[in-house]
Amino acid sequence: MRYYSKIKENVMFSFLLCFIFLFCFTLSQGWSLELTGAGATFPQPVLEAWAYQYYKETGIKINYQGIGSGGGIRQAKSRTVDFGASDKPLKSSELREYNLAQFPEIIGAVVITYNLPLHNKTLRLDGRAICDIYLGKIKNWNNPYLKKLNPDINLPDLPIIVVHRSEGSGTTWLFTTYLSKVCSEWKNKIGAEKSVNWPVGIGAKGNPGVTNYVKQTLGAIGYVEYTYAMENHLPIAILKNRSGNFVKPSVKTMKAAAFYAKWSIKKDFYADLTYQPGRDSYPITGASYILLIKDNPKTKEVTKFFKWAFENGDEIAKKLHYIPLPKNLKYLIYKYWKIQKVYPY
Amino acid sequence: MFQKSPYIETFTRYFLGFWAVFTGFIFPLIIFLILFYESRLAIQKFGFLQFLTSTSWDPVRESFGALPMIAGTLISTFIAIIIAAPISIGIAIFITELAPSWLKGFVITCVELLAAIPSIIYGMWGFLILAEVMRNKVEPFLQTVLGPIPLIGKLFSGVPTGVDVLTTSLVLSIMIIPFMASVVKDAFNLVPSVMKESAYGLGATKWEVIKDVVIPYTASGIAGGLILSTGRALGETMAVAFLAGNVPQIPKSLLEPFTTITVALANQFTEADTPLYLSSLFYLSLFLFIISFIILILAKLMVLRLEKRWKK
């Protein structure tokens, strides 16, 4: 009899524990707020770093899934996430149709990397050269036009092996947008999109795929994200900008490009940072965008997070080789939030 | 008392019957219908013939055609099977007829382990190591040796890049060898020893026994192995995505990059943001569904015919 009562006691106790546990769990669920976002892979590292710091400071969790810009746009339209992210901005008409708002959150760039025995000298290219290489018109590194651009380099007699991204990507969109701007033949024949009908070259998967292939192959040329190139210490070509200067991608030159871009609230920040005027502007610069869902009650929490990131996140972004937005643009974004009635306070 | 209940028996029969019919018939049918429904936009826009015969895949202008992908899928699968078939038959002959018994188990395990390697590993190995060897050594060698021969030389023209039809087919063939070899081996084991012994008794050599008794007797088994591996090679995505070079064009030489249906799907699904683009990708997968269906039916018919011929 005593034995049974002891079991009974134990059972009662464990039930009690379960209830307490469940109660605490639901309570914590109720208190802590979670935001989910999905989209481009390009801003994923910086968004995650911001989210981690934000969670430590406020207890609000932000889950970001880097599923690609197309997926981010689709999920924002179908309301399965609290915010989307895209490397390619949406047109105002499309935003209005789906009751969305958008703003840029970070700036990045695409760089040209190559594999040539140049002995610590840096390759110089301009829009026409890149365009002709990617169109298949310049087939060899000792082409006279390339030689003219690089008078101090002894370019070898090597076939150019062109490498591009195999999957749809915001990086490709930025690169082809640049090419369409500097080269009318590219614009008419190929155009700018996240994946295009490449006239020459081979496709490699992701930034790592392009990098690896270029690293292995003598005479290869490819384009990758700036952050990726910096972390892997790849050779980066110097590009001629609109003002005729040869510039290296860096914080300074990308900021210069962002400074000259025509940001406008009316156009929902639909802007193009490629091939901007300015002495220092790096020509293949681009912004990554956040899509806000205007009818989602959590949207003000999303803007709160980004306001926090704009105020406190610049150092984190720089450490990861991203370029934070210029100050005037941040104020413009706050103004835009107020107009769209999604300002956090 | 439990086993004798008639309800259990009927219940089990219907339950298992339901699952058999569901997975074997209704499930594929639902997939087909969903693919058909999702690709309706592309079907309206391009129709059947235009989509099948158009060679342009241009997301910017939204003109989509499936021919380069279909050609790439069929060509790489075909070459992979041509490479893999003799090797796997050789492995099976070695295991069943030639190998001493202590070596048999070892070789079988080794070949089966090959099948356990995930395809992404094959892809990475192919991309990081094999592609480099192919580009620097094998392909230039093939070009100098076979290049001057008329017709065949054409197959090896172009700049060797390492990521092309040849490398892809080679890796695909390594991936399908274990499947083919183990099916063929099982078929060889089924040859009645009476037949082999009587052939030996008539004074046949080992080679004659293999050539005239074992292989004709197991023709349907070999065909079965071929089918199984065709299915695998057709649907292989990850390894091919690394090695194909991913250019939607019909390859004119073995050293040109190409793409397959599954690779095009895997690469472009996440970023397809216009309805027509997405729908065209679904249409493409519908084509793959139909192609694998047709190939499997043809192969099944081939096996049946071979079996019939043997029974006569």
What global pTM score does this model have? 0.82
Residues A55 and A61: their CA atoms lie apart, in Å, by: 5
DSSP 8-state code for residue A223: E
- Return the sign of the alpha-carbon dihedral for residues A231, A236, A242, A245: positive
Interval A155-190: pLDDT, tens:
999 999 999 998 888 899 999 999 999 999 999 999
Let me know: does A282 contact A253? Beta carbons within 8 Å. yes
Confidence of residue A6 (pLDDT cuts 50, 70, 90): low
Task: Tell me the percentage of chain A whose pLDDT exceeds 90.
Answer: 59
Bigger pLDDT: A30 vs A129? A129
Interval A196-233: pLDDT, tens:
999 999 999 888 889 999 998 999 999 999 988 988 88
Give the neighbor-by-neighbor strand order of the sheet with A100-114. A61-66, A34-39, A83-86, A285-293, A100-114, A220-225, A161-165, A202-204
Task: Identify the closest residue of chain B to A197 by CA–CA distance.
Answer: B58
Q: Which CATH number, 2.60.320.10, 1.10.3720.10, 3.40.20.10, 3.50.50.60, labels domain B39-311?
A: 1.10.3720.10
Task: Tell me the percentage of chain B whose pLDDT exceeds 70.
Answer: 97
Taking CA atoms, B37 is separated from A61, A161, B33, B34, B286, in Å, by: 38, 41, 6, 5, 10
A→B interface, C-beta within 8 Å: 67-71, 73-74, 159, 161, 166-169, 190-198, 201-205, 209, 212-213, 216-217
- Note the pLDDT of residue B37: 95
Q: Do A205 and B242 touch (CB under 8 A)?
A: yes
Instruction: Lowest mean pLDDT of A13-22, B109-118, B172-181, B191-200, name the range.
Output: A13-22
- Note the pLDDT of residue A169: 86
- Note the pLDDT of residue A67: 85
- Note the pLDDT of residue A21: 61
Please provide the DSSP assignment of A286-301 as one string.
EEEEEEEETT-TTHHH
Please provide the DSSP assignment of A51-64 as one string.
HHHHHHHH--EEEE
**pLDDT, mean of residues A84-93:** 91
Bigger pLDDT: B311 vs B243? B243
B contacts of A203 (beta carbons < 8 Å): 244-247, 257, 259, 267
Burial class (CB within 10 angstroms; exposed 0-12, middle 13-18, buried 19+) of B137: exposed
Confidence of residue A23 (pLDDT cuts 50, 70, 90): low
**pLDDT, mean of residues B55-59:** 89
Confidence of residue B220 (pLDDT cuts 50, 70, 90): confident
Output the CA torsion B272→A176→A122→A209 (10° steps): 20
The phi, psi pair for A120, rounded to 5°, reads: 65, 5
Residues A189 and B242: their CA atoms lie apart, in Å, by: 27
Q: How many CB atoms lie within 10 A of CB B75?
A: 18
Residue A26 clears pLDDT 70, i.e. is over it? no
Interval A278-321: pLDDT, tens:
899 999 999 999 999 999 889 999 999 999 999 999 999 999 98
- In the stretch 208-247 of chain B, residues with CB closer than 8 A to chain A read 241-242, 244-247
Residues A57 and A75: their CA atoms lie apart, in Å, by: 28
The phi, psi pair for A39, rounded to 5°, reads: 150, -140
Average pLDDT, chain A: 88
User: How many beta-carbon contacts under 8 Å exist across A and B?
Assistant: 94
- In the stretch 40-69 of chain B, residues with CB closer than 8 A to chain A read 56-61
Q: Do A203 and B246 touch (CB under 8 A)?
A: yes
Let me know: does A236 contact A111? Beta carbons within 8 Å. yes
Interval A257-283: pLDDT, tens:
888 888 888 889 998 889 988 899 999
Confidence of residue A119 (pLDDT cuts 50, 70, 90): confident
ipTM of the complex: 0.78
End-to-end CA distance of chain B: 50
Let me know: does A191 contact A181? Beta carbons within 8 Å. no
Identify the residue among A41, A139, A202, A215 best suited for mutation to test binding to B, counting B beta carbons within 10 A and taking the highest: A202
Selecting from B128, B135, B271 the residue whose C-beta is nearest the C-beta of A217 gives B135
Average pLDDT, chain B: 89
